[in-house]
Amino acid sequence: MGVPMASRLVAAGYVVCSYDADPAARERFARESGVATVGSPVEAAAGARAVVLMLPDSSVVGRVLLADGLLASAAPGALVVDMGSSDPVRSRELAAVAAQRGVGFVDAPVSGGVRGAVAGTLAVMAGGSEADVAAVMPLLGVLGGKVLHVGPVGCGHALKALNNLLSATSLLASAEALRAGRRFGIDPNVLLDTINGSTGRSYSTEVKLPQYVLSGTFDSGFALRLMVKDVGIALGVAEAAQAPMRLGERTAALWREAASTLPDGADHTEIARWLDEELERP
């Protein structure tokens, strides 16, 4: 998602440079976005007013900020904006370290996928102080169609995880309904068209099932194992809030089971195919 996001920032007049640990990814990033690449996180942060991170999890974020030296090289008054799906507890810890060095921290995860990144219609959930979020709001407005300040640091990542738990649960339930309807003799396209005009509609029935499951492409661009990670974070949020989730636990168990059998690079929409095959087993 970083490529279309960076491209939008350049088109809006921002001066952008990029870094990725993978040289091939850096080359692709430069080719597809037109953004200059640098050779290290330290170079990326040098002189920047804002450093935007789009990374897979908190362990990588922590390594980039601390072990790789990005935070130490950031100028006082700069802002780190973590737009990946990280652990909110770890985000608060990193924000405290950043504050000691005079650097602000905003967690601003997004929803909407690659398609939303290209169109600039992402939903952005920003957590941080009023001043820090206000400072980065123009940048976030270029990337998202709906940008909300949802609370102090960590609240953005917590809300994103809860959103993805709902998304994961909805996809499972919708895939089961699709399978049952098809086996009963209902055309799957008719089933989805009808549901999408009724109270059972969701993003899964409107987008994921018709575009990625019925088409057989399974290429939404969001990995199944990232969904497993996000669902786990959501359960951690619930545990910290002393609000147990019985359905959430069952959802997590099914996603973990699918991840144990599907290939490492499986798209998250492949859980519909896995579910269909699993229910066919004697």
Does the pLDDT of residue 12 top 90, yes or no?
yes
Does the pLDDT of residue 50 top 80, yes or no?
yes
pLDDT band at 282 (very low <50, low <70, confident <90, very high): low
pLDDT band at 114 (very low <50, low <70, confident <90, very high): confident
CA gap 47, 73 in Å, rounded: 9
Question: Which residue numbers are catalytic?
Answer: 160
pLDDT band at 115 (very low <50, low <70, confident <90, very high): confident
Where in the chain are all domains bearing CATH 3.40.50.720?
A: 2-151
Class of domain 2-151: alpha beta
Does the pLDDT of residue 94 top 90, yes or no?
yes
| CA-to-CA separations, 281 to 173, 182, 188, 274, 277, in angstroms, rounded | 19, 18, 22, 11, 7
Specify the range with the lowest mean pLDDT, choosing from 11-15, 32-36, 47-51, 147-151.
Answer: 32-36
Q: Looking at domain 158-280, what is its CATH homologous superfamily?
A: N-(1-d-carboxylethyl)-l-norvaline Dehydrogenase; domain 2 (1.10.1040.10)
Q: What are phi and psi of 140, to 5 degrees?
A: -65, -30
Q: Which is higher by pLDDT, 13 or 35?
A: 13
pLDDT of 113 reads 85
pLDDT of 26 reads 87
Element at 210 (helix H, strand E) = none
Q: Is residue 48 within 8 Å of 178, Cβ to Cβ? A: no
pLDDT of 269 reads 98
**Which residue is listed with tokens 């090289």?**
73
pLDDT of 277 reads 87
Averaged over 93-119, what is the pLDDT?
Answer: 94
pLDDT band at 60 (very low <50, low <70, confident <90, very high): very high
| CA-to-CA separations, 58 to 11, 83, 214, 267, in angstroms, rounded | 29, 11, 34, 21
Specify the range with the lowest mean pLDDT, choosing from 103-107, 115-119, 195-199.
Answer: 115-119
3-state helix, strand, coil in the chain (%, to 5): 60, 10, 30
Does the pLDDT of residue 280 top 80, yes or no?
no
pLDDT exceeding 70 applies to what percent of the chain? Answer: 99
pLDDT band at 236 (very low <50, low <70, confident <90, very high): very high
| Digit-coded pLDDT (tens) for 152-184 | 999 999 999 999 999 999 999 999 999 999 999
**Pairing verdict, β 110-111 and 144-151:** unpaired
Mean pLDDT value across the chain: 94
pTM reported for the whole predicted model: 0.91
